[in-house]
Amino acid sequence: MPWKITRPDDCCDGCGECVEICPNGVWEMVGDKSQPVNADECVGCESCVEACPNDCIKVEEV
């Protein structure tokens, strides 16, 4: 099932929590921000959503 991941660049503070918690390696640090570079691996578990201290990440079924 495909999932859409969004996170505004200006919201991310680069803490890396989403990178650490994602079980499928969707997130990677690119420069000083996290990016969903492997978005096709997302299974919609929303662990990144829960881990983000700034509530930046949204995961939606498409």
Contact 36, 60 (CB under 8 A): no
Amino acid 9: pLDDT: 86
Domains of the chain, earliest start first: 3-61 (3.30.70.20)
Amino acid 62: pLDDT: 92
Low-confidence stretches of the chain (pLDDT beneath 50) = none
